[in-house]
Structure 1
Amino acid sequence: MENIEQLRSDFERHGQGHVFAFWDKLTKQEQRHLVEDLETINIAEMTDMFTKANDKSLQLKTKDMKNLPQNLTKSAANCSEDEKLNYWDTTLREISLGHVGVILLAGGQGTRLGVEYPKGMFDIGLHSGKSLFQLQVERILKLQQLSESLTGQSGKIRLYIMTSDHTRQQSQDYFAENKYFGADRDDIVIFEQRIIPAFNDQGKFLMSSKYSVAKSPDGNGGLYRALREEKILDDLENHGIRYLHSHCVDNVLAKVADPLFLGYCISKGTESGNKIIEKMEPKEGLAVVVQIDDKIQVVEYSEINKTGG
């Protein structure tokens, strides 16, 4: 292993030299495993990410939060029936042309649900026994049916499912075993988000063993990198998809590719839209969408103190 000294030097320079703490006690095979594991890590990028995440100067200035300008928002409760019908028709016509896709964020395992398989496979207790994955696909199939009824043209909604190293194979096998729940196999694209090292509060990599770093999916924010690295952007372009609706697999109440919401966004020509619900009262544990300086941002309820600052 000719590169071991350089590798050790790189990790020590970035404050992660402890990953070699047991080096002299490892077998040759274990040493080889550790080196191969460390070579997959962009040490400079990872430590920089941790530093920025904990840089107080880069944190949100919640005391400067302002409501969004009224011209950038629309409430479904205040839409006229004609407006709603127009938004619906707009989306269904785009579906008929094959311009609509759905991104399903499904990289997490069902640990908090008490299972050791992907969340999407979870049976939430419906009499039908349908899993989260099945519910998502059937809602897409229904939209395709509604679109064809309106336009007389059969269009497809392409479904992109972001999994992780821990869930990809199980998810693929599950869809295959269930014949893709009636969808065309070619219309379901399963891709993988990145796995990155887990840190402790002091910014040190956690170890899952004496010769391997503990790792986990890079979160929903990892979507953007995965779209590029997994060639999903190319796939979108090749299939003429112009509009995407993204949501988490465990959001069982999500209106997949919601025609009302998508139609509104399409009609406004917006680059990005965020669908939210109103808080019942100020202290309700929900994030808020606000304007800080000249940027629109989401602020988690845990980042707002009792005075709103």
Structure 2
Amino acid sequence: MHPIPSRRRWIGLACAALCAAPLAWASGYPDKPVKLVVPYPPGGPTDIVARVVAQKLQEQMGQPFVVDNRPGAGANIGAEAVARSTPDGYTLVVATTAHAINPSLFARLNYSITKDFAPVSQLTSGPLVIVTSPATPVSNVKELIALAKSKPGGLNYASSGNGQSTHLSAELFSAMAGVKMAHVPYKGSAPALTDVMGGQADLMFDTMLSSMPHVKAGKLKALAVTSGQRSPSAPDIPTVAESGLPGYEAIAWNGLLAPAGTPPEVVNRLSAELKKVLENPEVRQRFEAQGFSATWNTPAAYASFLQAEVDKWDKVVKTSGAKID
């Protein structure tokens, strides 16, 4: 047989194999357990979201999705570990609003949220809720702004910590409303809410998960939610924008990131599987019970959202002067 056709045939087969490789890689993924790093302690809102998603991905993809809690340093320890991991789709991180805030807040970070990760999809979005003691003499956002303007710096607001979304959402509010309020940071939502209920702090921008049980029990008064639309979990509570401060929006969100360099075929496979998870009625109901909405988007759309969040919170951090060394 003449050698040239044989060589051509071999080259053709090799090319076909190479072209099919990415497809085979994606269809064969995952063939071992996948680690979902949660940069917060067990039991919190992000951990709850991660465990629901992990369970459903495991059911759909036939391999264990294992939640690995790595809290600390403002959610940076877990994020940095994933940024430095092998980019093969087997180590992922559940990111939050804090990861969009941290580039501006921390003087030194050992990773870049926009350069060291491949965005997969958002998972949830949800508002904070402005709560006050029932004794505070305001019942809506307009009255809160008027009270704050009547005594500059005289109102104080609690937060779950310096630089957290519960802090910077209030700073965004103050900047847009043209008011000054004193910030009192706490180590977590629970002690902060205790002082709001007791009248030691005037108000707080807090997650619905931790604050709404106290609202329902009559121990706190809810003025407004911080999202652009009313929350399905509490449709009677107006938004900040509709009740006194047009244009205001601040949401808490979770999303899934892979290390930069993860093959696009794997990222797209994960994104497609997440779309099924987040359209599942059971998942949507479970998230709504926590005050979240299930939110899917494409990797490109999530990348754009992430950059917009980084830019937005950069301005708020600079205005507030918040900094962590």
- After TM superposition, the score normalised by the length of structure 2 is 0.23
Structure that is richer in strand per residue: 2
- After TM superposition, the score normalised by the length of structure 1 is 0.24
